[in-house]
């Protein structure tokens, strides 16, 4: 365990300069955003209003001063003031309010992708060049090549408009848990908290509203997980230990699931972790298409209105999430594989 802890510590230390570089790069690009004074003050603002606003928000300060302020504010996780809302609320408040919606969406999408991807990939490897394999390959290809915003619109038209099987996603406490009392669901994790509360009605509604965006978003990692599983499984199934297992009379299901799949999992887990980045990027589009009140839409809207602090803090949060997820993947990796643990020593 101490090995793992040391490893985590080392990786966390590397993450700090990495996140600083991300914030710096993101900051350097903020002058390309539209002037936030237009979004904030509208068509009636006078020259004086605009100048006063820019001075008040320190928008004309030198680059390093603004970046220094960002780093200072990021350290408190408040990320400074939301300059477009401008009611004293901080960017941190906005991010904390929206992160749970993105987290639950990404988690659901990843679960769908991993479960379907493992099954489809394993089937493809066990029955190569048969119908099941072909179907899995086609799905993987479609997932990899079709843009999520198009798929989102189409899925929404089919399932919510034409067939009316699923609602248009409405991720709000008013809809998911209409009878919640004051203070309930304070975590804003609507699905996880309804599960913890054993509120079946809320769980059902949460799953119904989560289904469309999660399925659409899952197509991004699904393709990679499926193809990766198929490739590694094919490789594993051809190895000596599999032949030995078969020779000693182990049933084929056991050979596939206990022997081959288990060994194939390690690269799959790594790839899954790396897919978090694509998933978060895809969340920006998916959330915009489905009006999902998450971090992705918050950042997209901030780009439009020139709300620089929100853009930088949002990208920073995405980057930090990516780093943390991959850190966890690496830890899981080290814990799972004794050889790596020895290597670490």
Identity of the residue, 220 or 289, whose beta carbon is nearer to another protein in the bound complex: 289
**Three-state DSSP class for residue 337:** coil
Closer CB to another protein, 21 or 291, in the complex: 291
Dihedral sign for Cα 36, 41, 43, 46, please.
negative
CB of 330 to another protein, least distance (A): 25
How far is residue 212's CA from residue 167's CA, in Å, rounded to a whole number? Answer: 8
Write down the least CB distance from residue 329 to another protein, Å: 22
Q: Which two tokens stand for residue 246?
A: 């078969």
C-beta of 138 vs 158, nearer to another protein = 158
The residue (of 98 and 230) whose beta carbon lies closer to another protein is 98
Alpha helices in 30-90 (DSSP H): 36-41, 47-56, 63-75
> What length is written for the chain?
345
- Residue 245, classed as helix, strand or coil, is helix
| Min dist. Cβ of residue 29 to another protein (A) | 15
Closest approach of another protein to the CB of residue 323, in Å? 26
Q: Please, which residue, 48 or 240, has the CB nearer to another protein?
A: 48
Give the nearer residue to another protein in terms of CB position, either 15 or 300: 300
The position carrying tokens 């004309």 is 60
Judged by the rule CB under 8 A, the positions of this chain that interact with another protein are 34-36, 38-50, 52, 55-56, 84-89, 97-98, 101, 156, 160-161, 164-168, 170, 172-175, 178-179, 195, 198, 200-201, 203-209, 211, 288-291, 293, 297, 301, 304-306
Nearest to 2, CA basis, from 10, 265, 212: 10
Least CB distance from residue 324 to another protein, whole Å? 23
Q: Which residue intervals of 127-199 are DSSP H helices?
A: 131-145, 148-155, 173-176, 190-196
Q: How far apart are CA 139 and CA 265, in angstroms?
A: 21
CB of 163 to another protein, least distance (A): 10
């Amino acid at each position: 365990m101490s090995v793992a802890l040391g490893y985590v510590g080392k990786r966390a230390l590397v993450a700090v300069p990495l996140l600083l570089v991300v914030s710096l790069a993101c900051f350097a690009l903020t002058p390309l955003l539209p002037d936030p004074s237009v979004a904030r003050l509208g068509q009636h603002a006078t020259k004086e209003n605009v100048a006063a606003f820019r001075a008040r928000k320190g928008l004309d300060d030198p680059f390093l001063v603004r970046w220094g302020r960002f780093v200072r504010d990021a350290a408190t996780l408040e990320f400074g003031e939301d300059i477009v809302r401008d009611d004293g609320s901080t960017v941190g408040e906005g991010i904390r309010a929206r992160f749970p919606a993105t987290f639950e969406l990404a988690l659901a999408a990843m679960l769908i992708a991993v479960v379907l991807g493992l099954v489809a990939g394993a089937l493809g490897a066990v029955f190569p060049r048969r119908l099941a394999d072909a179907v899995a390959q086609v799905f993987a290809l479609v997932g990899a090549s079709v843009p999520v915003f198009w798929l989102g619109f189409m899925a929404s038209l089919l399932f919510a408009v034409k067939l009316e099987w699923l609602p248009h996603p409405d991720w709000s406490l008013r809809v998911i848990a209409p009878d919640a009392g004051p203070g309930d669901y304070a975590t804003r994790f609507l699905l996880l908290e309804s599960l913890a509360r054993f509120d079946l009605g809320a769980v059902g509604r949460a799953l119904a509203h989560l289904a469309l965006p999660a399925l659409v978003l899952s197509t991004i990692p699904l393709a990679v997980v499926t193809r990766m599983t198929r490739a590694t499984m094919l490789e594993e199934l051809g190895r000596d230990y599999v032949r030995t297992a078969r020779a000693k009379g182990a049933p084929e299901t056991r050979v596939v699931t206990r022997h081959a799949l288990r060994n194939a999992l390690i690269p799959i887990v790594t790839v899954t972790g790396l897919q978090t980045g694509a998933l978060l990027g895809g969340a920006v589009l998916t959330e915009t298409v489905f009006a999902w009140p998450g971090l992705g839409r918050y950042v997209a809207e901030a780009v439009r209105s020139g709300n620089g602090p929100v853009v930088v803090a949002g990208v920073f949060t995405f980057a930090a999430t990516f780093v943390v997820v991959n850190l966890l993947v690496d830890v899981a990796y080290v814990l799972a594989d004794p050889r790596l643990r020895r290597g670490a020593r």
